[in-house]
Amino acid sequence: MTEDKNAVREAVLKKIRQNSDFPAMSSTVSLINKFDPKDDISITDFANLILKDIAFTTKILKVVNSVNYMQFGEVTTISRAIILIGFENIKNLAVTLILFDQLQKHKSNSALMDSVTKSLYSAILARKIAEETGFASKEESFLCSIFHIFGKMLVSFSMPEKVEEIDMFMKQHNCSETIAAISILGISYEDIGVNIAKEWNLPKKIVSCMKKIMPSELSENQGEIDKLRSISTFTHNITNIIAKESATDEREAAINKNLSLFKVHFNVIQSKIKQLLKESDKEFIEFFNMFKIDLRTSRFAINLLNLKNDEPAKSAEIKQSKEFVLPSSIESFDEILESESFENPETIFRKGIQEINKSLLSGFNLNDIIRVVLETMFRGLQLTGKSKVLFIVRDTRRPVMTVRYGFGNAISETKQWFEIVIDNSNDIFNISINNQKDFVIKKLSSPDIISMLPSWFIQRINQDEFIILLPIVVNELTIGIYYIEGQQEELSKISSMHLNNLKILRDQTVMAIKQQRGF
């Protein structure tokens, strides 16, 4: 009998794993969660991961420039977004957008839409409660609540018909969702979530929070993980209450009952819960409107709007009721113009330079400035394929220059072999360093250029490429170089204006170094 159950469980997990979108989504989420916010290199690698996907970069910047973050002014680079909003917040935003990307690909899947929208609302509410009470980390509260019903999201994603069967079984037998899921699938949503989350290498805190906490487990001296389990369970309980088709007074009574069950942790928000819910409603609706996802496709969103009388909810409802549902192959003028305003090279360079100027006029971290410069170069030039932009710096103990940061292709691998030996050689790097000259090498395979390339470089580089060298000179000493590499056919896209912008960005780096060193 046990063997039969295990076979059923494994069959369900196998079907989830085999979904065509599953491998890409799981690897991206796993990778995002491995980055360490305390590590400078890790932050750069994270920004590089985001920048490899232009559409994803644009979406993140769109959210960062929404009303929720307007106190920071316009933000045009991922690097500066991390500086202003925080690494953990950007990580949370990235994971949320990955989930919403699946919504946009599977708009007709009502079960998935409902699961993800509930999770988002719960996460927004959890962050607001954590911020109001200081009960737990607001970033971790958000992420743990997003993944609290991860198992149900996965089943909705891969087997939406099973979610309907489970819901029907619950109604017919008046039982819990866990019992219904085990009866239909042979495994609970929680167990599915935990199994897959471990395969994705999600953090222990997130995995632990997929398990509901019972009121009998609550205490005043709760550990960190149980606090996160508590806030995740509490906010999802409230979300489930909102999801039910009930009168306003019934809903309020149910929310008060939930507060009573969790009073040891959340009694302090008893008088503020209505305001917190109202603020969560507004942020939730803004998120949907921002990405033009029709709220009417989610049962939860419909109930949320129908139960609210405040203007933001109603205006959002009216706005969406006038929209057409267009095929993905059709794009409106507004969408095209909006996209181009973010990705136009001149705009990227101009706004990046402005961001750096603002930073130079206030307190700044030099590493943050360098990351913004690199990102502006990388995005402004709009190179593709195996292109890269590197910040190469002089070693203080040896006569060499090595890669500190980079954006683009194979940065980690490049760091392992890219080392310029500083001497009086006539290779192109030493000529640039010693003469403090900017160079564009149009074709590495040209006979007159090959003789000027060091052997360690020739062995590793694709000779059908171009490179740009911009030495960083402070008080007549070349302390580093910006190195740009791209496919030869893309050189024609780089205008004299782009080259001038690269020089401005390099000069801003020199200014930042001088300011920090007190020159």
Annotated domain spans of the chain: 110-321, 345-517
What ranges make up the beta strands (E) of 6-100?
Answer: none
pLDDT score, position 188: 93
The helix/strand count (H/E) of the chain reads as: 27, 6
CA distance 336 to 340: 6
pLDDT tens by residue, 207-217: 999 999 998 89
The mean per-residue pLDDT over the stretch 345-368 comes to: 89
Report the chain's mean pLDDT, rounded to a whole number.
Answer: 84
* One-letter amino acid of 506: R
* Predicted pLDDT of residue 8: 65
Inter-residue contact 380 to 349 (CB < 8 Å): yes
Residue 202 CB coordination number (10 Å): 23
Q: Identify the CA nearest to 180 among candidates 145, 155, 148, 144.
A: 155
Alpha-helix runs per DSSP H in 291-344 = 299-306, 311-321, 333-343
* Residues facing residue 465 across a β-bridge: 487
Burial of 502 (0-12, 13-18, 19+ CB in 10 A): buried
CATH of region 345-517, choose from 3.40.1440.10, 1.20.1260.10, 3.20.20.110, 3.30.450.40: 3.30.450.40
Tally Cβ neighbours within 10 Å of residue 203. 15
Helix (H, G, I), strand (E, B) or coil at 187: coil
Which pLDDT tens digit goes with each residue over 448-489?
899 999 999 998 888 889 999 999 999 999 999 999 999 988
Predicted confidence at residue 62, as pLDDT, reads 81
Map tokens 């057409």 to a residue: 324
Decide if pLDDT at 138 tops 60.
yes
Residue 390 has pLDDT above 80, yes or no: yes
Q: Which residue has the tokens 């993800």?
A: 116
Instruction: Give the pLDDT mean for 383-409.
Output: 92
Q: Which CATH class is domain 110-321?
A: mainly alpha
